[in-house]
């Protein structure tokens, strides 16, 4: 395991932004609320911010420990270790979902004749190499990839604006069906993905070169990226309209394809594909790393010792779903119902345990 002084506050900012972006801007989250989907994102990000404050509070109580150490310290060795093992499987499952997304995306857009088994093995191998090298290498990647990703987004947004594709009247009427459908669309789905996935940073904040949490950097990065994701929802609806955007698998890709009138630029959708690859790869890698780190702490063995076994499990599990339709159905169905347990339920239990221990110490 790498020394914690290898990760700076600025690197955490870049990682949070790139991790939260992931593939999120390419979809229309909260599409059930139609033209009010951007309000769904507002509510989801606000609820996610409250959850983030809880996670940071927990980390501040145990500044040198990761989630696994906190569970063992506050819930008991046996119960904490059991939950730690379950979290390791949860992180591996989330990593597997991103591996499958990468494989399907490659087959659909770039290499239709190449077996997904090969492309997914390549992505797993890239992540495995970075994890083998340690946290320092993983946290250096966003410094290179985030500016590139944002450049592509800015370029495409400017082109959509210049070509007159944006029609903000498609965002009206606001709250036509009232506030309740917006809240129902936001909770828990949009909180779980992507905002609740900040739970992974309880495994990572202990790597910071100062005990505790880089609060200012974390909050700033979270707020900036929340504004960006809300804007991307507005953009998708403004270009396509709520109905078309809601039914599209990748509405931002469809929006970019409306720029085909630009005869001097061909295949702009390749930029969208690159955006997807970058976001999915970082998410997959970070979940993979957290799974490895969790098992390493539970067993007392080096993280390098667990890279290959955990990677093999993730790679093998990526073939369990029959096809992409089933993969999406599970991801938007059972997965979103289980996520709140890991993202909010267990952290709340941990926070209550910390408070009870503090109270018993004061009373003693």
Query: CA 354 to CA 120: how far, in whole Å?
Result: 41
- What residues contact 293, with CB distance under 8 A and at least 6 apart? 1, 66, 68, 203, 303
Q: What is the pLDDT of residue 163?
A: 84
Instruction: List, for the chain, all residue ranges whose pLDDT scores fall below the cut of 50.
Output: 1-5
Per-residue confidence (pLDDT) for residue 253, from 0 to 100 = 85
- The residue ranges of DSSP E strands in 22-85, in sequence order, are none
Distance of CA 187 to the CA centre of its chain: 17
**SS3 (DSSP) at 172:** coil
pLDDT of residue 5: 45
pLDDT computed for residue 197 by the predictor: 96
pLDDT digits (tens, 9 = 90+) for 116-144: 999 999 999 999 999 999 999 999 999 99
Hey, how many other C-beta atoms are within 10 angstroms of the C-beta on 159?
A: 17
Helix, strand, or coil (residue 208)? strand
Q: Whole-angstrom Cα distance, residue 85 to residue 131?
A: 19
- What span, in angstroms and rounded, lies between the C-alpha atoms of 104 and 91? 20
Calculate the CA dihedral of residues 327, 329, 332, 333 and round it to 10 degrees.
-120
Q: Who's near 240: CB < 8 A, 6+ residues apart?
A: 248, 251, 254, 255, 258
Query: Mind listing the pLDDT tens digit for each residue in 213-226?
Result: 999 999 999 999 99
Q: Residue 229's CB: how many other CB atoms inside 10 A?
A: 24
Query: What is this structure's pTM?
Result: 0.94
Among 18, 20, 38, CA closest to 28: 38
For the beta carbon of residue 111, count every other beta carbon within 10 angstroms.
Answer: 12
Distance CA 7, CA 135 (A): 7
């Amino acid at each position: 395991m790498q020394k914690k002084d290898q990760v700076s506050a600025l690197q955490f900012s870049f990682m949070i932004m790139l991790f939260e972006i992931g593939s999120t801007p390419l979809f229309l989250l909260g599409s059930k609320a139609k033209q009010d989907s951007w309000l769904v994102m507002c509510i989801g990000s606000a609820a996610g911010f409250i959850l983030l404050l809880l996670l940071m509070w927990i980390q501040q109580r145990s500044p040198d420990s990761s989630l696994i150490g906190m569970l063992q310290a506050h819930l008991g060795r046996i119960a904490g270790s059991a939950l730690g093992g379950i979290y390791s499987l949860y992180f591996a499952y989330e990593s597997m979902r991103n591996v499958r997304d990468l494989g399907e995306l490659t087959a659909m857009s770039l290499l239709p004749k190449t077996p997904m088994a090969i492309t997914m093995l390549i992505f797993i191998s890239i992540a495995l190499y970075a994890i083998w090298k340690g946290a320092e290498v993983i946290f250096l990647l966003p410094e290179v990839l985030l500016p590139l990703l944002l450049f592509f987004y800015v370029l495409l947004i400017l082109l959509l604006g210049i070509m007159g594709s944006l029609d903000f009247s498609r965002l009206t009427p606001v709250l036509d069906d009232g506030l309740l459908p917006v809240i129902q669309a936001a909770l828990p789905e949009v909180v779980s993905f992507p905002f609740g996935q900040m739970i992974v940073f309880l495994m990572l904040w202990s790597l910071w070169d100062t005990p505790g949490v880089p609060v200012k950097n974390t909050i700033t990065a979270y707020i900036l990226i929340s504004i960006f994701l809300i804007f991307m929802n507005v953009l998708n609806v403004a270009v396509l309209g709520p109905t078309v955007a809601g039914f599209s698998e990748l509405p931002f890709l469809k929006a970019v394809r409306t720029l085909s009138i630009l005869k001097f630029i061909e295949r702009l959708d390749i930029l969208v594909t690159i955006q997807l690859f970058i976001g999915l790869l970082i998410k997959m890698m970070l979940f993979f790393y957290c799974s490895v780190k969790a098992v390493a702490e539970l067993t007392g063995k080096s993280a390098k010792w667990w890279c290959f076994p955990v990677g093999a499990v993730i790679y093998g599990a990526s073939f369990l779903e029959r096809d992409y339709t089933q993969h999406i159905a599970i991801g938007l169905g059972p997965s979103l119902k289980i996520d709140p347990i890991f993202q909010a339920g267990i952290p709340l239990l941990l926070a209550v345990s910390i408070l009870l221990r503090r109270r018993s110490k004061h009373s003693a």
